[in-house]
Structure 1
Amino acid sequence: MAGALVDRYPRKWAMLAADLGGGVATGVLLLLLGRLEVFHLYLVSALTGALSSLHWPALSAALSAMLEKKDYARASGMMSLAESLAGVGAPVLAAALLKPLGLGGVFALDLLGAGAAVLTLLLVPIPSPPPRTGARTSLREEALYGFRFILERPPLLGLQLMFFGINFLSTLAVTVLPAMVLAKTGMSEAALALVRSAAGLGGVVGGLLLSVWGGPKKRVHGVFLGMAFSSLALALMGVAEGPGAWATLAFLESLFIPIINGSNQAIWQAKVPLSVQGKVFAARRMIAWFANPLGMALAGPLADGVFAPRYGQGEGIALMLLLFGSLGVLWGLSGYLLPKVREAERLLPDAKENQAAAP
């Protein structure tokens, strides 16, 4: 339903609702300080996750309207850079501030951040499509339109299936990577921290690179080759030995992710009419991200029930990385064998030149 709401109402409202909701959730935790239970954290996490389903399609659609086609990938790189910096820096900063400020102080800083986001949104003009004329359809029908839009366009459907597949394969490998590092280093937390830090740094550098470079002129090269190189780094982790080698490969694996996502995002922003981007973007994210919980659910049983009993805990998981990483390389390169996907940018008209009517 989130995508339908994003297209039905001003996109600024959707982003404001998400940021205000996150601030309210933090405020509730602050009020419950001293009486916090684990289920409170579950409820807040569920709420913020639901609100993010509003924020991302609204922000993506707003950027499509505000920017020129040539700047879409750069903007995606900047967003990836900001997310990676937050992912790397926020836990470190929170840990450093926890002792001097306490948990209440950390929550208060989070509230200030939410307030700054809301104030910025209020001050910045955010374009939205003109109001629709004619009879209004139900939210359910509008939400389903996003899926129909993708199914009716083979180039976009092919891209979507490429992402579903690569997300599934990479999740099967990445989920068990920490277990491999711990098993091969005698449960060394320092080794695991090194690998994770390198992966975070790779995301930062990848986002910065895309922000400056703008990605390949033909966006599908960034998608297909990015998938192949990122998966190759995962596969090599299965044969490499030592925290230094794993950290280097984790850096390279994460380095290509902003390029993959930014190149793909630029295609969708250029080819999907602005008036329906909320619905379509919400649908495509749901399809692609469904692969993540599916991969997580299968990774553990495969590791404990299939690979570890036959090859040992560390070596069995290393074989999983080699296997699923190698399949990811083949999956990424297979996009070149599909003409409708390979030529998606040529086959589909640009959105700003051909604004289709919403349902």
Structure 2
Amino acid sequence: MGPPQARGDMLRFAVVWIASLLSGVGSSLTGFVLGVWAYQSTDSPTQFALVMLCGLLPGILIGPFAGIVVDRFNRRTVLIVTDCLAALPTLAIVFLIQTDGLAVWHLYLASAIGAACSTFHATTYQAMTPLLIPKRHLGRANGLMQISWATQIAAPVLAGTLMVAVGMSGVLVIDLATFAVAVLALLVVRLPATVLRPSGTAEAPTLRTDLVAGWRHLRAKPQLLGLVYVQTGFNFVFATAGVLIQPLILSFATADVLGLLMLAGGAGMFCGSLVMGVWGGPRGRVRGMAVFMGVGSVALFLHTLWPSPPLVGVAAAAFLFTLPVVGGCAQAVMQTKVERDLLGRVLGTAHSLGTAATPVAYLLAAPVAEFVTGPLLMPGGGLAGSFGALVGVGEGRGIAFVLLLDAVLLAALAAVTAFAPRLRTLETALPDSVADDSPHPVRSS
């Protein structure tokens, strides 16, 4: 394939990615305003948490099924169908708002459908990327794709402004418009046949065989399975920090300050995504993951030293800057080392395994901080005279102590990634899925 074809593929990727990014921004805005509505309507943190869990659990359960669909059906069709399905609950909620019939259980259902569609979307894009982008540019492409995470973190600031300007229904209509843009881009952009259905004409195995194909492939390549376990641990650390950062800030600052610090964190992640998009990541991707996890652990530790908004703002930006590098490197390794015809199923299984730790972190971190470390770090508490000298004593310092433990866990994970033999030699021990740098596999006749 000549350079013109390669440039054309990258242009196609860019158009589809931008449309997907806009859709992701719209979904983030909707998720925020619906969460605010749930909390304001019920005054129940539990109801708010249930909406979050409904937006998480279906994606974990459906990962292997999504991988099968991505490997067996036209990927353009998968993306268009899931976009349309994801838009239906949003459209229904707009109608329910106008008729004053919206209830919290509607949000449970809408969040679950959105999570399922998002899993199909993410798996499809991750499987298509190495078929459009040369190997040497995979780190850049994966870094850019993670800009959507930065927009989700910064969504509250934009969503709050839009709520004042156009109201809740207006925000949802904007989300519907972004869905339409994404579908239009998929209909207009011409994608190579090998990208849409790389499996060729091979007879599909049974559903049961397909469901376990991703797991069997990972078991057969323990280096890749080890990488997935690292991602699982990393997601646990990130989820623990994510669920505790806001309560930590609110223990010593106002809601306005919280919004500014969240914007700072989102800006840090946005910058990390852009840097990864330009740089492409280190040549040794696994080693690079370890280095940036180590940097992230230092930044997470800085959150805990004392209740200072400027310190937390800088630390949050630094911590979130590392995420696109770690995630982009891990994704590029998977896309490079997994056979193209299995990529959807392996990525679907890896998604389920990698995100399974997130609800565990949600369910453990807050109760431990509230009922265990919180009382221990109040004046006269059991840890006030020891760890209290490091993280402080009083309101919110129990949360800081859990984040301190989270930082230690991330540092340990970085050490394992750097020194575990299977992970250290992963990139040299496993052959690449294609021998050259062409993103298109050559089909056998």
If the TM-score is normalised by the length of the shorter chain, which range does it land in?
Answer: over 0.9
> Do residues 6 (structure 1) and 49 (structure 2) align?
no
Supply the distance in 2 between the matched residues of 1:69 and 1:328 (Cα, whole angstroms): 28
Q: Which residue of 1 aligns with 2:425?
A: 343
Check whether the contact 1:77–1:258 (CA below 8 A) recurs between aligned residues. yes
Deviations 1:64-106 (Å, cap 9, x if unpaired)? 1111001111111111124423542x44444333344333332
TM-fit CA distance, 1:112: 1.4
Q: Which residue of 1 aligns with 2:174?
A: 109
Q: Which residue of 2 aligns with 1:295?
A: 361
Q: Which residue of 2 aligns with 1:36?
A: 102
Structure 2 residue identity aligned to 1:318: A
Decide whether aligned partners of structure 1 residues 178 and 85 sit closer, same or farther in structure 2, where only a CA change above 3 A counts.
closer
> Do residues 268 (structure 1) and 350 (structure 2) align?
no
Q: Which residue of 1 aligns with 2:402?
A: 320
TM-fit CA distance, 1:299: 0.7
Structure 1 residue identity aligned to 2:302: L
> Do residues 98 (structure 1) and 163 (structure 2) align?
yes
Supply the distance in 1 between the matched residues of 2:370 and 2:157 (Cα, whole angstroms): 32
> Do residues 175 (structure 1) and 243 (structure 2) align?
yes
Supply the distance in 2 between the matched residues of 1:168 and 1:86 (Cα, whole angstroms): 18
Deviations 1:292-329 (Å, cap 9, x if unpaired)? 11111111221122211111242222122122202211
Q: Which residue of 1 aligns with 2:198?
A: 129
Deviations 1:184-220 (Å, cap 9, x if unpaired)? x1x5223322322211111111001101111101111
Supply the distance in 2 between the matched residues of 1:35 and 1:212 (Cα, whole angstroms): 48
Choose which of 124, 132, 138 in structure 2 pairs with 1:72.
Answer: 138
Check whether the contact 1:84–1:204 (CA below 8 A) recurs between aligned residues. yes
TM-fit CA distance, 1:356: 12
Check whether the contact 2:287–2:417 (CA below 8 A) recurs between aligned residues. no
Supply the distance in 2 between the matched residues of 1:82 and 1:258 (Cα, whole angstroms): 10
TM-fit CA distance, 1:123: 1.4
Q: Which residue of 1 aligns with 2:352?
A: 286
Question: Any stretches of 5+ residues in structure 1 without a counterpart?
Answer: none
Identity across the alignment (%): 31
Structure 2 residue identity aligned to 1:351: S
Q: Which residue of 2 aligns with 1:256?
A: 322
Supply the distance in 2 between the matched residues of 1:305 and 1:103 (Cα, whole angstroms): 35
Supply the distance in 1 between the matched residues of 2:256 and 2:367 (Cα, whole angstroms): 26
Check whether the contact 1:224–1:332 (CA below 8 A) recurs between aligned residues. yes
Question: Between Structure 1 and Structure 2, how many residues are aligned?
Answer: 353
SS at match of 1:351: coil
SS at match of 2:198: coil
- Give the RMSD, CA atoms, in angstroms: 2.0
- Within 5 A, what are the aligned runs for 1:162-241? 162-183=230-251, 185=252, 188-241=254-307
Check whether the contact 1:154–1:341 (CA below 8 A) recurs between aligned residues. no
Decide whether aligned partners of structure 1 residues 141 and 265 sit closer, same or farther in structure 2, where only a CA change above 3 A counts.
same
Check whether the contact 1:272–1:350 (CA below 8 A) recurs between aligned residues. yes
